[in-house]
Protein backbone atom coordinates (compact mmCIF):
# COMPACT_ATOMS: atom_id res chain seq x y z
CA UNK A 1 0.00 0.00 0.00
CA UNK A 2 2.74 2.46 0.97
CA UNK A 3 4.57 1.61 -2.23
CA UNK A 4 1.45 2.30 -4.28
CA UNK A 5 1.15 5.77 -2.75
CA UNK A 6 4.81 6.49 -3.50
CA UNK A 7 4.43 5.38 -7.14
CA UNK A 8 1.23 7.38 -7.60
CA UNK A 9 2.98 10.46 -6.20
CA UNK A 10 6.00 9.89 -8.47
CA UNK A 11 3.77 9.65 -11.56
CA UNK A 12 1.77 12.79 -10.69
CA UNK A 13 4.80 14.86 -9.68
CA UNK A 14 6.65 13.58 -12.76
CA UNK A 15 3.78 14.63 -15.06
CA UNK A 16 3.77 18.11 -13.51
CA UNK A 17 7.53 18.55 -13.82
CA UNK A 18 7.29 17.24 -17.38
CA UNK A 19 4.69 19.88 -18.11
CA UNK A 20 7.05 22.50 -16.66
CA UNK A 21 9.88 21.13 -18.83
CA UNK A 22 7.72 21.35 -21.97
CA UNK A 23 6.82 24.98 -21.20
CA UNK A 24 10.50 25.77 -20.55
CA UNK A 25 11.47 24.38 -23.97
CA UNK A 26 9.24 26.96 -25.71
CA UNK A 27 10.31 29.82 -23.44
CA UNK A 28 13.99 29.06 -24.03
CA UNK A 29 13.35 28.85 -27.77
CA UNK A 30 11.53 32.19 -27.73
CA UNK A 31 14.35 33.85 -25.81
CA UNK A 32 16.92 32.38 -28.19
CA UNK A 33 15.09 33.70 -31.27
CA UNK A 34 14.95 37.18 -29.74
CA UNK A 35 18.66 37.05 -28.88
CA UNK A 36 19.57 35.71 -32.33
CA UNK A 37 17.63 38.52 -33.98
CA UNK A 38 19.33 41.13 -31.77
CA UNK A 39 22.69 39.63 -32.80
CA UNK A 40 21.74 40.06 -36.47
CA UNK A 41 21.43 36.35 -37.24
CA UNK A 42 18.78 35.07 -39.67
CA UNK A 43 15.60 34.16 -37.78
CA UNK A 44 12.34 32.60 -38.95
CA UNK A 45 10.04 35.65 -38.67
CA UNK A 46 6.85 33.59 -38.38
CA UNK A 47 8.24 31.50 -35.56
CA UNK A 48 9.51 34.61 -33.77
CA UNK A 49 6.13 36.37 -34.04
CA UNK A 50 4.40 33.32 -32.62
CA UNK A 51 6.77 32.79 -29.69
CA UNK A 52 7.80 36.36 -28.85
CA UNK A 53 5.06 36.80 -26.23
CA UNK A 54 6.64 34.04 -24.17
CA UNK A 55 9.70 36.22 -23.48
CA UNK A 56 7.70 38.99 -21.85
CA UNK A 57 6.55 37.08 -18.80
CA UNK A 58 8.18 35.55 -15.80
CA UNK A 59 9.05 32.01 -16.82
CA UNK A 60 7.95 30.44 -13.54
CA UNK A 61 4.59 31.99 -12.68
CA UNK A 62 2.09 32.64 -15.40
CA UNK A 63 -0.88 31.06 -17.02
CA UNK A 64 0.14 29.50 -20.28
CA UNK A 65 -1.45 30.58 -23.53
CA UNK A 66 -2.17 28.83 -26.79
CA UNK A 67 0.78 29.66 -29.06
CA UNK A 68 -1.55 30.18 -32.02
CA UNK A 69 -4.61 32.11 -30.81
CA UNK A 70 -3.34 33.44 -27.44
CA UNK A 71 -6.30 31.80 -25.68
CA UNK A 72 -5.39 31.76 -21.97
CA UNK A 73 -5.48 28.19 -20.80
CA UNK A 74 -7.83 27.39 -17.90
CA UNK A 75 -6.70 25.26 -14.99
CA UNK A 76 -8.32 22.16 -16.52
CA UNK A 77 -6.39 22.76 -19.75
CA UNK A 78 -3.17 22.58 -17.75
CA UNK A 79 -3.64 19.10 -16.30
CA UNK A 80 -0.69 17.25 -17.85
CA UNK A 81 -1.31 14.47 -20.34
CA UNK A 82 -5.04 14.14 -19.59
CA UNK A 83 -6.01 17.53 -21.02
CA UNK A 84 -4.02 16.74 -24.17
CA UNK A 85 -5.69 13.34 -24.49
CA UNK A 86 -9.21 14.66 -23.84
CA UNK A 87 -8.78 17.42 -26.46
CA UNK A 88 -7.21 15.08 -29.00
CA UNK A 89 -4.04 17.19 -29.11
CA UNK A 90 -5.84 20.37 -30.25
CA UNK A 91 -6.39 23.82 -28.73
CA UNK A 92 -9.85 24.12 -27.08
CA UNK A 93 -10.40 27.50 -28.71
CA UNK A 94 -8.86 27.49 -32.22
CA UNK A 95 -8.48 23.70 -32.69
CA UNK A 96 -4.88 24.15 -33.83
CA UNK A 97 -2.75 21.04 -33.30
CA UNK A 98 -0.68 21.34 -30.13
CA UNK A 99 1.95 18.81 -31.15
CA UNK A 100 3.12 15.59 -29.58
CA UNK A 101 6.12 17.04 -27.75
CA UNK A 102 4.09 18.17 -24.71
CA UNK A 103 2.45 14.85 -23.77
CA UNK A 104 5.64 12.92 -24.61
CA UNK A 105 7.86 15.07 -22.39
CA UNK A 106 5.29 14.81 -19.55
CA UNK A 107 5.13 11.05 -19.91
CA UNK A 108 8.92 10.86 -20.29
CA UNK A 109 9.62 12.67 -17.02
CA UNK A 110 6.98 10.59 -15.17
CA UNK A 111 8.57 7.36 -16.46
CA UNK A 112 12.02 8.71 -15.53
CA UNK A 113 10.83 9.38 -11.95
CA UNK A 114 9.36 5.89 -11.59
CA UNK A 115 12.45 4.16 -13.07
CA UNK A 116 14.76 6.27 -10.92
CA UNK A 117 13.02 5.25 -7.71
CA UNK A 118 12.60 1.59 -8.70
CA UNK A 119 16.17 0.98 -9.92
CA UNK A 120 18.03 3.48 -7.72
CA UNK A 121 21.46 1.88 -7.33
CA UNK A 122 22.48 3.72 -4.14
CA UNK A 123 21.17 3.65 -0.59
CA UNK A 124 18.07 5.56 0.52
CA UNK A 125 18.52 5.72 4.28
CA UNK A 126 20.67 8.72 5.18
CA UNK A 127 19.61 12.30 4.46
CA UNK A 128 22.49 12.68 2.00
CA UNK A 129 21.44 9.54 0.11
CA UNK A 130 17.84 10.77 -0.19
CA UNK A 131 19.17 14.19 -1.26
CA UNK A 132 21.17 12.46 -4.00
CA UNK A 133 18.00 10.88 -5.44
CA UNK A 134 16.13 14.22 -5.24
CA UNK A 135 18.99 15.97 -7.09
CA UNK A 136 18.97 13.20 -9.71
CA UNK A 137 15.22 13.73 -10.25
CA UNK A 138 15.74 17.49 -10.60
CA UNK A 139 18.58 16.77 -13.04
CA UNK A 140 16.14 14.55 -14.96
CA UNK A 141 13.88 17.55 -15.58
CA UNK A 142 16.90 19.48 -16.95
CA UNK A 143 17.85 16.46 -19.07
CA UNK A 144 14.32 16.30 -20.54
CA UNK A 145 14.57 19.97 -21.59
CA UNK A 146 18.05 19.48 -23.10
CA UNK A 147 16.98 16.25 -24.84
CA UNK A 148 14.01 17.84 -26.62
CA UNK A 149 15.79 21.12 -27.37
CA UNK A 150 18.81 19.45 -28.94
CA UNK A 151 16.61 17.08 -30.94
CA UNK A 152 14.51 19.97 -32.33
CA UNK A 153 17.11 22.70 -32.85
CA UNK A 154 20.58 21.08 -32.47
CA UNK A 155 21.44 23.29 -29.52
CA UNK A 156 21.87 22.89 -25.77
CA UNK A 157 20.82 26.09 -23.96
CA UNK A 158 23.46 27.41 -21.54
CA UNK A 159 20.99 28.12 -18.74
CA UNK A 160 19.99 24.46 -18.52
CA UNK A 161 23.54 23.18 -19.07
CA UNK A 162 24.78 25.30 -16.14
CA UNK A 163 21.87 24.16 -13.97
CA UNK A 164 22.88 20.58 -14.74
CA UNK A 165 26.54 21.27 -13.90
CA UNK A 166 25.40 22.78 -10.57
CA UNK A 167 23.25 19.74 -9.72
CA UNK A 168 26.14 17.48 -10.79
CA UNK A 169 28.59 19.34 -8.57
CA UNK A 170 26.36 18.79 -5.51
CA UNK A 171 25.99 15.09 -6.42
CA UNK A 172 29.77 14.73 -6.74
CA UNK A 173 30.23 16.47 -3.37
CA UNK A 174 27.82 13.97 -1.77
CA UNK A 175 29.65 11.06 -3.42
CA UNK A 176 32.98 12.31 -2.02
CA UNK A 177 31.56 12.83 1.49
CA UNK A 178 29.93 9.38 1.53
CA UNK A 179 32.98 7.55 0.12
CA UNK A 180 35.43 5.70 2.35
CA UNK A 181 38.35 6.83 0.18
CA UNK A 182 37.81 10.53 -0.54
CA UNK A 183 40.90 11.01 -2.73
CA UNK A 184 40.09 8.00 -4.94
CA UNK A 185 36.54 9.29 -5.44
CA UNK A 186 37.78 12.76 -6.42
CA UNK A 187 40.19 11.17 -8.93
CA UNK A 188 37.35 9.01 -10.26
CA UNK A 189 35.15 12.10 -10.77
CA UNK A 190 37.97 13.97 -12.55
CA UNK A 191 38.51 10.96 -14.83
CA UNK A 192 34.75 10.81 -15.50
CA UNK A 193 34.87 14.47 -16.58
CA UNK A 194 37.80 13.72 -18.90
CA UNK A 195 35.91 10.76 -20.44
CA UNK A 196 32.56 12.53 -21.01
CA UNK A 197 33.72 16.10 -21.53
CA UNK A 198 37.46 16.12 -22.32
CA UNK A 199 37.14 13.83 -25.35
CA UNK A 200 34.49 16.11 -26.82
CA UNK A 201 36.72 19.08 -26.06
CA UNK A 202 39.56 17.50 -28.05
CA UNK A 203 37.17 16.79 -30.96
CA UNK A 204 35.89 20.35 -30.74
CA UNK A 205 39.43 21.77 -30.93
CA UNK A 206 40.50 19.43 -33.77
CA UNK A 207 37.40 20.15 -35.88
CA UNK A 208 37.30 23.86 -34.89
CA UNK A 209 33.69 23.38 -33.78
CA UNK A 210 32.43 21.74 -37.00
CA UNK A 211 31.75 18.23 -35.62
CA UNK A 212 30.31 19.14 -32.28
CA UNK A 213 29.23 22.28 -30.48
CA UNK A 214 30.61 23.64 -27.22
CA UNK A 215 27.25 22.76 -25.64
CA UNK A 216 28.15 19.06 -25.80
CA UNK A 217 31.30 19.75 -23.74
CA UNK A 218 29.27 21.46 -20.99
CA UNK A 219 26.62 18.73 -21.10
CA UNK A 220 29.35 16.07 -20.80
CA UNK A 221 30.75 17.81 -17.72
CA UNK A 222 27.31 17.97 -16.06
CA UNK A 223 26.66 14.29 -16.80
CA UNK A 224 30.10 13.23 -15.53
CA UNK A 225 29.56 15.08 -12.24
CA UNK A 226 26.12 13.47 -11.89
CA UNK A 227 27.53 9.96 -12.36
CA UNK A 228 30.53 10.78 -10.11
CA UNK A 229 32.32 7.56 -11.13
CA UNK A 230 34.72 7.10 -14.06
CA UNK A 231 33.47 3.55 -14.73
CA UNK A 232 29.89 4.78 -15.10
CA UNK A 233 31.12 7.60 -17.36
CA UNK A 234 32.85 5.02 -19.54
CA UNK A 235 29.68 2.91 -19.73
CA UNK A 236 27.65 6.06 -20.53
CA UNK A 237 29.93 6.92 -23.45
CA UNK A 238 29.84 3.33 -24.69
CA UNK A 239 26.03 3.14 -24.39
CA UNK A 240 25.63 6.52 -26.15
CA UNK A 241 27.69 5.31 -29.10
CA UNK A 242 25.90 1.96 -29.18
CA UNK A 243 22.47 3.64 -29.22
CA UNK A 244 23.80 6.04 -31.88
CA UNK A 245 24.85 3.14 -34.09
CA UNK A 246 21.50 1.38 -33.59
CA UNK A 247 19.76 4.54 -34.83
CA UNK A 248 22.21 5.58 -37.55
CA UNK A 249 22.89 2.25 -39.28
CA UNK A 250 19.24 1.34 -40.07
CA UNK A 251 18.69 4.96 -41.19
CA UNK A 252 21.64 4.70 -43.58
CA UNK A 253 20.45 1.36 -44.95
CA UNK A 254 16.97 2.75 -45.61
CA UNK A 255 18.54 5.88 -47.09
CA UNK A 256 16.82 8.34 -44.74
CA UNK A 257 20.15 9.47 -43.35
CA UNK A 258 22.89 10.83 -45.55
CA UNK A 259 26.51 10.70 -44.51
CA UNK A 260 26.51 14.40 -43.72
CA UNK A 261 23.18 14.36 -41.85
CA UNK A 262 23.33 16.27 -38.61
CA UNK A 263 23.10 13.99 -35.60
CA UNK A 264 22.66 15.49 -32.14
CA UNK A 265 25.09 14.04 -29.62
CA UNK A 266 23.17 15.50 -26.68
CA UNK A 267 20.19 13.09 -26.63
CA UNK A 268 22.55 10.11 -27.12
CA UNK A 269 24.78 11.17 -24.23
CA UNK A 270 21.72 11.72 -22.05
CA UNK A 271 20.31 8.27 -22.86
CA UNK A 272 23.74 6.71 -22.30
CA UNK A 273 24.01 8.39 -18.90
CA UNK A 274 20.58 7.19 -17.78
CA UNK A 275 21.48 3.64 -18.87
CA UNK A 276 24.85 3.87 -17.06
CA UNK A 277 23.21 5.15 -13.87
CA UNK A 278 20.79 2.23 -13.64
CA UNK A 279 22.69 -0.73 -15.07
CA UNK A 280 26.28 0.48 -14.65
CA UNK A 281 26.91 -0.69 -11.10
CA UNK A 282 25.34 -4.07 -11.84
CA UNK A 283 27.49 -4.46 -14.97
CA UNK A 284 30.62 -3.53 -13.05
CA UNK A 285 29.71 -5.98 -10.30
CA UNK A 286 29.09 -8.78 -12.77
CA UNK A 287 31.72 -8.32 -15.42
CA UNK A 288 34.54 -6.19 -14.08
CA UNK A 289 34.58 -7.19 -10.46
CA UNK A 290 37.94 -8.84 -10.72
CA UNK A 291 39.58 -5.88 -12.40
CA UNK A 292 38.62 -2.98 -10.18
* Contact in structure between 55 and 83 (CB atoms under 8 Å): no
In three-state secondary structure terms, 230 is helix
Closer by beta carbon to Zn ion, 37 or else 96: 96
Cβ nearer to Zn ion, comparing 102 with 150 = 102
Polymer length in residues for the chain: 292
DSSP codes, 53-122:
GGGGS-SSSS--B-TTT-PBPPGGG-STTHHHHHTTTB-TTT--B--SHHHHHHHHHHHHHHHHHHT--S
CA distance 171 to 134: 10
In the bound state with Zn ion, the residue whose beta carbon lies nearer, of 95 and 182, is 95
- Which positions from 35 through 94 interact with Zn ion, judged by CB under 5 A? 66, 68-69, 71, 91, 93-94
**Residue 26 near Zn ion by CB under 5 A:** no
Minimal distance, residue 98 CB to Zn ion, in Å? 8
Cβ proximity to Zn ion: between 73 and 243 the closer is: 73
Q: Which is nearer to Zn ion, 102 or 216 (CB)?
A: 102
We find the least distance from the C-beta atom of residue 95 to Zn ion, in angstroms, to be 7
Using CB under 5 A as the binding rule, whether residue 138 contacts Zn ion is answered as no
Is residue 177 a contact point for Zn ion (CB under 5 A)?
Answer: no
Geometric angle at alpha carbon 140, from 269 and 211, rounded to 5°: 25
- Residue list 91-130, contact with Zn ion (CB under 5 A): 91, 93-94
Give the residues lining the site for Zn ion (CB under 5 A). Answer: 66, 68-69, 71, 91, 93-94
Amino acid sequence: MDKLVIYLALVLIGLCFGSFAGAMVWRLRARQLVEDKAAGEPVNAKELARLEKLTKKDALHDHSQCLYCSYTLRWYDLIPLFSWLSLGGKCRNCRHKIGRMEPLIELGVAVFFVISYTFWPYGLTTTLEIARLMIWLAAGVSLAILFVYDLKWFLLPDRINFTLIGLGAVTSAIAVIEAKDHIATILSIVTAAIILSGLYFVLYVISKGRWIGFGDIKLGLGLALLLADWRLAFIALFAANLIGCLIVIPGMIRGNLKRDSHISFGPLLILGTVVAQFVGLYLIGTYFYGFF
